[in-house]
Amino acid sequence: MAKFVPITVRLKSGEELVIREAAPEDAAALLDFVDQVSRESDYLTFGPGEFGITLEREQEFLETVRHKPNAIFLIGLLGHEVVASLSFAGGGRPRIAHVGEFGMSVRKAYWEMGIGTAMLKAFLDWARQTGVIRKVNLRVRVDNPRAIALYEKCGFRVEGRISREMQVNGKFYDTLLMGKAID
């Protein structure tokens, strides 16, 4: 049984974004998506060719996530094209099962259309409904003001800063730790 009921969101462009839980059958499309976004943005924790996950491992991962009450993998589709993803995993032990971290990516061609906002709101609605998730965390590079503004708009607050956490082409970048309580 799916733990997330698919939703359709009308974007600023008038197009309809379908947000649904990823399934093992989506693994190949997701690996293609990851390959694309890794070439479009330096804000990710991996670059082109660095993701290093096989199709079989991605399928297994997606199947595992479907059965965890404190984890989810959402995809955003325009037609049949994956244009966004959001993954979240809570802690594996009882004392930390209520808290976890998410990561989100949107294809660059679809930035500024409201997709990130729609994905994040759908995720936060799911988190509230779980009865398990009580805190959501994320990391974002300090030089990514659009992402920071989105997270702040959705109620996240800066809780810390890690210096030199990411290195891209020989340059170090700090990241902000942001969090939001789920009531």
Q: Are 92 and 134 in contact (CB under 8 A)?
A: no
The band of 3, judged by pLDDT with boundaries at 50, 70 and 90, is: confident
Q: What is the mean pLDDT of residues 161-166?
A: 97
In which element (H, E) is residue 66 found?
A: helix 55-66
The residue ranges of DSSP E strands in 4-156, in sequence order, are 7-10, 16-21, 71-78, 81-90, 99-106, 135-141
pLDDT at 2 over 90: no
Q: Where in the chain are the domains?
A: 7-134
Q: What is the CATH number of domain 7-134?
A: 3.40.630.30
Measure the N-to-C terminal CA separation of the chain; round to a whole number of Å.
Answer: 25
pLDDT greater than 80 at residue 1:
no
**Residue-wise pLDDT tens digits, 118-161:** 999 999 999 999 999 999 999 999 999 999 999 999 999 999 99
DSSP strands (E only) in 22-93: 71-78, 81-90
**How many angstroms from the chain centroid is the CA of residue 18?**
15
Q: Which residues lie closer than 8 Å to 95 by C-beta, 6 or more apart? A: none
pLDDT band at 50 (very low <50, low <70, confident <90, very high): confident
- What angle do the packed helices 115-130 and 145-153 form, to 10 degrees? 40
| Residue 150 to residues 3, 112, 147, Cα–Cα distance (Å) | 25, 11, 5
- The amino acid sitting at 11 is L
In angstroms, rounded to a whole number, what is the distance separating the alpha carbons of residues 50 and 41? 13
Q: What is the value of pTM for the model shown?
A: 0.95
Q: How many residues belong to the chain?
A: 183
Give strand pairing partners of 89.
71, 101
